[in-house]
């Protein structure tokens, strides 16, 4: 979805920086592409740039945990068992939300890649992380989400839920970008008393 969103935003006239993990997808034309391999590298690429953006969309399904140590050489079968210690990866969306709470910051959009209680999990994420919009999708499906060209999502904001039925990722991306444009316009509207 990240590449489709970047392409849709660029089509709508945005200047786009796409921070991407390993992917075989071609870079959408007219955007700046930054490739990373780890959650820490993604954090280092995203956080410093976020304050200059009007909108930050966090669509990557970054692993929540990573091995505590990386081995440069093959680990041989010396024992019958092997214990692997995992440590939490940086929660980039939570960090951006905390920074935004201290200063006027861009619109913040997150994704909830879930397998159960998809909308409820997205609602909790939206509330707990204080983001403007969460795009929720069921990644256990074979016809939507990862490794296919289609998706079905629910857009969750503080006051609404809107389901976008199964369709191409590019069509979903365009609708998400249009919803973001509406939120951006509303956030810039003067308050009337």
Q: Quick one: pLDDT at residue 188?
A: 64
Per-residue pLDDT of 37-61, as tens digits, reads 999 999 999 999 998 899 999 998 7
Structural contact between residues 28 and 48, judged by C-beta atoms closer than 8 angstroms: no
What is the pLDDT averaged over residues 89-113?
84
Cα distances (angstroms) measured from residue 49 to each of 106, 127, 130, 138, 149: 11, 24, 19, 29, 29
For residues 64-76, one letter each, b for 16 or more C-beta atoms within 10 angstroms of the residue's C-beta and e for the rest, the string is: eebeeeeeeeeee
- CA–chain centroid gap for 123, Å, is 15
CA torsion sign, 121 to 124 to 127 to 130? negative
Residue 11's contacts (CB-CB under 8 Å, 6 or more residues apart) are 174
Q: Quick one: pLDDT at residue 192?
A: 40
Per-residue pLDDT of 116-145, as tens digits, reads 999 999 999 999 988 999 999 998 888 888
pTM of the entire structure? 0.86
Q: Quick one: pLDDT at residue 79?
A: 87
**Tokens matching residue 152:** 């079905």
């Amino acid at each position: 979805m990240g590449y489709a969103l970047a392409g849709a935003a660029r089509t709508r006239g945005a200047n786009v920086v796409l921070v991407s993990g390993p992917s075989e997808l071609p870079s959408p034309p007219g955007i700046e592409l930054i490739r990373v391999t780890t959650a820490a590298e993604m954090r280092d690429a995203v956080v410093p740039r976020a304050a200059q953006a009007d909108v930050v969309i966090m669509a990557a399904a970054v692993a929540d945990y990573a091995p505590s140590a990386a081995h440069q050489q093959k680990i041989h079968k010396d024992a019958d068992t092997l214990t692997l210690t995992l440590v939490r990866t940086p929660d980039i969306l939570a960090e951006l939300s905390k920074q935004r709470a201290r200063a006027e910051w861009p619109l913040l959009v997150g994704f909830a890649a879930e397998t159960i209680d998809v909308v409820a999990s997205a609602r909790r994420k939206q509330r707990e992380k204080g983001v403007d919009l969460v795009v929720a999708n069921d990644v256990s499906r074979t016809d939507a989400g990862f490794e296919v060209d289609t998706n079905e999502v629910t857009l969750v904001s503080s006051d609404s839920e809107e389901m976008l039925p199964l369709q191409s990722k590019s069509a979903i991306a365009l609708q998400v970008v249009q919803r973001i444009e509406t939120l951006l316009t509303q956030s810039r509207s003067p308050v009337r008393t």
